[in-house]
Structure 1
């Protein structure tokens, strides 16, 4: 006879790995990241870039809650599994309404309000499951109450009121909601639970990989339907190389070092590393990847001759800032990520970021393909230098560190 159906939540083991359901959930979130890239590309102005960044931050803030939840209860067991699927549905609606999150389209429901309702649904599902998970854990229950009382309550009001306004008022109210939410989370205490450091680090590493994959998809979409040429081939390879080098900068050593530091830490220090290194420092990494994807997409459309562009056209304004600024943001975030956990400052990465900023005037005068090539060259020089300069400690971290 078949065994009883599990309806209760199951705790996460110390050696747990990311579940397939969590990966499925992440794919929906990354689809939303793709929609953010398209949203930013539709109108390349500073205001629209700020709107896109705000939407991305809201998506991130809804996702990180499930990264913490999945480290307390198994995401694919019992009621948690049902909650994950319902949250996925709400997240998919968020993604679909991104194009009209600030400008309602004629016909249908009012886009900005649907966006907010779906966002709050994702957050409330997370809160409900966390509440249920803390039934027999007084410390976790106190933390959940303290966080929810000050964070979601205030943010919800600001988001709904903002959805019912337009223009600058909407942007300011939504930005205020996000700043309040993040700020309250930072100061709301360190009594969260983190049962598996390896699961937590793996979850964030996978979202970085998927985001980098989204950047490659954006490159492909940018040249879809255009006849293949040497310029498109070279541009595509350069874009792929940039994504690969960003992967190397994260996974070769940095991710391992911080994960080991979180393993060794205990009590509040482990929670602080998880919150600051992963919840907070990973957001500028994701934002940098999305911005880089926007810039790469524009480069490929230029070299492919889309919309009247030619191979000699330069990359200006927001697309150039997104391409170079996205990589600079990513590198600085990696420095902060490792510094908080270990106290080490990665000077070569700060230098590479400074070089990229110094190259911006030259990149703006060069053809778009050359600008992408210079970016790739700086990243390649950084990685080669680190591999040679830090060969021995790198080998110890990758192969000889417990």
Structure 2
């Protein structure tokens, strides 16, 4: 009966292979005169049997490799690239999560329709963290256990901060939020300008408008804390007078806060709120009959926000945004072309205009795409880190990470835009 060898990888049987370890008939060793050598049986066991054992093992391994390895390699090639996404798809922060999710799904569908990357399709695993840090941690653990090569953190500040300790040893984590500024010794990379850079763009706009005072309303959550810290640092450095009020995300009226920060000499107001909270501030602004231009945060540069506030918006509604929202202002021809292409493709697919959040989602997927295409082994997170720190990643806004900064964009990528009809255009200074 032939020996049956079983593959350690697949459990399949391969017949006709001599099993290593089966003893061969012993041959008696004799002296030149024909007498049996003393200890010949022992020597035979420790000499020829060992050699035969090694030989047969080699034959078996070679035979197994010849029979099984091609199949195993084919199976390896058929594996997918598992990319995890953590995003708030329900609750107050869903306006952010669902818009980032659209950009990610668009990338996955486009890649897989084209045949995948290096012969593998991208498998997207999405976990709804509901903007709850404890849920985000559970989501991240699930992604890591599944073997995700990349985690896209499409959630908000508190959840992202809770997830960061889990990826100290990998996998690579991509962050569209401006509020994290990951450490350069980590495997986390932020594709958005920092909140400080965004605030710097507001300061530049104030300088261009000849303003020295600004009123600001900020939330009391973790994102609001970041915004307040940036405002105090940036506006303080410019010598601007900052009038600040805080408001809870669940508040339904912001009249008290606005009355506190808008005086007779206030010519510009900044609301760093996002989502439903921003709508509350805009409605209260209208109810109070306030006239100064209002700047809303980048998260509100969306058609959904415009539709909600169109009847209550102030005379001039401004916003912070990545310049890709108005691609004609981009100086780099590659960035300009990629931004225009994304704006057209997204609008065609979803029948809605691109917003700031979609654009940041596109930047994150461009980095993910570069990792899978350019790094020979994307599960070697040190190699991924080295690649991102030493190469420009082409995108709607080219990402430039370095060994000293894991933030891909600076304040030069941010502009102040103004709502005209249903479109956002480059804002003129305050007059």
TM-based fold match above 0.5: no
Between structures 1 and 2, the one with greater strand share:
2
Q: TM-score range, shorter-chain basis?
A: under 0.3
Higher relative contact order (CA 8 A, sep 6+): 1
Q: Which has the larger radius of gyration?
A: 2
The structure in which a higher percent of residues are helix is 1
Q: TM-score, normalised on structure 2?
A: 0.23
TM-score by length of 1: 0.24
